[in-house]
Structure 1
Amino acid sequence: MRRLAVFLAFLLSAFSLAHASTLSDVKARGKLLCGVNPGLQGFAAQAADGAWAGFDVDFCKAVAAAVLGDAAKVEFVPLNAVERFDKLKSGAVDVLARNTTWTMQRETGAAIRFAGVSYHDGQGFIVKKLLGVTSALNLTGASICFLSGTTTKDNVEDFFREKQMAFTPVMFDNITDLVKAFDAAKCDTYTADMSQLYAIRLKLTNPDDSIVLPDVISKEPLGPAVRQGDEQWFNIVRWTLFALIDAEEMGVSSAGVDAMKTESAKPDVRRLLGLEGTFGADMGLDPDWAARAIKAVGNYGEIFDRNLGKASPLLIERGLNALWNAGGILYAPPVR
């Protein structure tokens, strides 16, 4: 009997996990819990009035608009690099949108799933101009600042071992202390994703005294992540990302959504905007889910330009993050 009771308890637990619904939790709560960077200009940063802005912030607003009908129904939870995965797995956040690299170990070992690639990045280095360094190959023997809980140290170890170079690691648990240390020349260089380096440079006392080296030593596919075990929620987050990318390719903008819903005869636009098919219903949403997301924050190109690109202080070129038919590799499956 005891074995039977244990077995039944196991089945009940497995059944509960299999039927856990993040969508239901979010709707009952009335807001989306989004894990973001504590403060990285361009991706997620909080203003003096408490308002959050950034590339990852806008993505979470898009999910909130799709699911709850209101982009403002988001609570942003600042997470450091060490705690982010545990907070996601524990349910402290519904989605992690924190410039996080998609790796095999994180997906198979940490029980999380990446919904897709929202930003194609690569790891690089920033140095003071006074060092006279023009390439990462000149950094042998350098002291390097690292942020704990990231893949940056592993990447540098691989790169330096291959080049038979040596370095001294200087570890930090938070980005604020790390930036202060680099600014005070307590390490020769700081290494991170290239997008972060451009943002960090603007925080230095004298930004023009430092340069980002041209070398890229890794590929860093950044994207939003969710817990494993809830396919419905995974699909919602994944297809919100894809819808924003597809919208740019189709020319559907935040200002033009309403007009295209009434005027466009293109089948792909009509499917995206909920005029044909059951794509929203298949995920537990209404037909206007994608239209609301696009209207709230714009398509991928609008989000990029506003936070990272030509309309932002960072002035980052689209590069790999341009659409596949415009010189980049950004590509999303079709809504069909």
Structure 2
Amino acid sequence: MKNTVILGALTVAGLAAGAASAATLDDVKARGNLNCGVSTGLTGFSAPDANGVWQGFDVAVCRAVAAAVLGDPMAVEFVSTTGQTRFTALASGEIDMLARNTTWTFSRDNDLKFEFVGVNYYDGQGFMIPKELGVSSAKELDGATVCIQTGTTTELNLADFFRVNNINYEPVPIETNAEAQQQYLAGACDVYTTDASGLAATRASFETPGDHVILPEIISKEPLGPLVRHGDNEWGDIARWTLNALIAAEEYGVTSANIEELSSAPTDNPEINRLLGTEGELGAMIGLEADWAKKAIMANGNYGEIFEKTIGENTPIGLSRGLNAQWTEGGLMYSPPFR
């Protein structure tokens, strides 16, 4: 079992430029494991199971990258981070990549000197309240106390929403989802606001989920995805194309059940052949073995398989694909060509 570290609060400013190494791939190979930043625990997305093994939708991205680079999806050291500590962890080099419900924004991309490698979940901010409050719209929350995680886009969106609607609120600052859950259930706040997927995950962990309602308003765009430091394009390419491999595999019908057969010899589909390394030299272009994408897909399945077994409609989280469906099914999930 890998040890889990919760980082203390540090200052991000000034760390990014000094910590960015142009040899992250070499460092990961020499170390023999990937240091991946995740949440402090969010059911379905990133949380340790009863045996202490990290599982979830975001965890699967970490394991796919570890499989692509090291050939072992379990060669990951998971580092728990909060909304306040996650960027310091990445900028300082404590972690090689961050894979936890983090929104791609202009300032994070540019001012903080990070590189988002794609979107693995298109989300938006919502509100959860106890059903007994009898509120049917977020616009009826004038004067409410609101649990909000500090250091997040959620905090800024909340202020904007209440300002635009000319209503007031009293913030109840919290650091982690566990703290938010505790405070919310204890009645310390009337409302909990975060990404709608996070609200669904949190509600699923309650003893009586049906006693709580997620209001209909979605007040923001929250494209969530993994990120790395600026300054190491090769490592960014590896993380980006590993995520793309999971998405492309679903589109092309490559699954955990048929991947061995499809990769045993070239198929009639050259895109599948290039993806799985039986044709072309894509692996060499990013410093990996020819079957790097095959290993990444085998770690947890393709994007759709990962979604369905961690947060999908048949799980306690119960999320529909929505915007996260493949582009061929009316969603936004789309990988550039493997060629």
TM band (smaller chain): over 0.9
Partner of 1:242: 244
Query: In 1, Cα distance between the equivalents of 2:206 and 2:107?
Result: 33
Query: In 2, Cα distance between the equivalents of 1:31 and 1:106?
Result: 26
Contact 2:44–2:317 (CA under 8 A) maintained in structure 1 = yes
Query: In 1, Cα distance between the equivalents of 2:81 and 2:39?
Result: 6
Aligned 1:143-292 pairs, distance under 5 A: 143-261=145-263, 262=265, 264-292=267-295
**CA shift for structure 1 position 330:** 1.0
Query: In 2, Cα distance between the equivalents of 1:168 and 1:151?
Result: 17
TM-score of the superposition, structure 2-length normalised?
Answer: 0.92
**CA shift for structure 1 position 311:** 3.7
Provide, for residues 277-300 of structure 1, a one-character-per-residue CA deviation record: whole Å limited to 9, x for no partner: 221111101110001111121000
Amino acid at match of 1:58: A
- 2:328 aligned to 304, 325, 328, which one? 325
Contact 1:183–1:205 (CA under 8 A) maintained in structure 2 = no
Query: In 1, Cα distance between the equivalents of 2:167 and 2:50?
Result: 43
Aligned 1:1-336 pairs, distance under 5 A: 20-261=22-263, 262=265, 264-336=267-339
Any gaps of 5 or more consecutive residues in structure 2? 1-17
Query: In 2, Cα distance between the equivalents of 1:22 and 1:165?
Result: 48
Any gaps of 5 or more consecutive residues in structure 1? 1-15
Partner of 1:12: none
Contact 1:235–1:283 (CA under 8 A) maintained in structure 2 = yes
Query: In 2, Cα distance between the equivalents of 1:278 and 1:168?
Result: 57
Query: In 1, Cα distance between the equivalents of 2:67 and 2:266?
Result: 23
Pair 1:162–1:38, CA change in 2 (3 A): same
**CA shift for structure 1 position 18:** 8.2
SS of residue in 2 equivalent to 1:309 = coil
**CA shift for structure 1 position 209:** 1.1
Query: In 1, Cα distance between the equivalents of 2:20 and 2:308?
Result: 39
SS of residue in 1 equivalent to 2:160 = helix
Compare 260-269 and 43-52 and name the one that shifted more. 260-269
Provide, for residues 26-83 of structure 1, a one-character-per-residue CA deviation record: whole Å limited to 9, x for no partner: 0000011110011100110112311110001111110011000111111111111100
Pair 1:278–1:19, CA change in 2 (3 A): farther
Amino acid at match of 1:280: G
Percent identity over paired residues: 51
SS of residue in 1 equivalent to 2:37 = strand
Query: In 2, Cα distance between the equivalents of 1:17 and 1:334?
Result: 32
**CA shift for structure 1 position 162:** 1.2
**CA shift for structure 1 position 174:** 2.2
Query: In 2, Cα distance between the equivalents of 1:17 and 1:142?
Result: 42
Pair 1:186–1:244, CA change in 2 (3 A): same
Partner of 1:3: none
Contact 1:120–1:221 (CA under 8 A) maintained in structure 2 = yes
Compare 51-60 and 309-318 and name the one that shifted more. 309-318
TM superposition outliers: structure 1 runs of 4+ over 3 Å: 16-19
Query: In 2, Cα distance between the equivalents of 1:142 and 1:115?
Result: 37
Query: In 1, Cα distance between the equivalents of 2:167 and 2:67?
Result: 49
SS of residue in 1 equivalent to 2:282 = coil
Pair 1:280–1:118, CA change in 2 (3 A): same
Amino acid at match of 2:316: P
Query: In 2, Cα distance between the equivalents of 1:18 and 1:196?
Result: 30
Contact 2:19–2:93 (CA under 8 A) maintained in structure 1 = no
C-alpha RMSD over aligned residues = 1.4
Query: In 2, Cα distance between the equivalents of 1:292 and 1:175?
Result: 32
Query: In 2, Cα distance between the equivalents of 1:140 and 1:330?
Result: 37
Contact 1:62–1:297 (CA under 8 A) maintained in structure 2 = yes
What is the count of residue pairs matched by the alignment?
Answer: 321
Query: In 2, Cα distance between the equivalents of 1:197 and 1:210?
Result: 10
Larger Rg over CA atoms? 1
**CA shift for structure 1 position 21:** 0.6
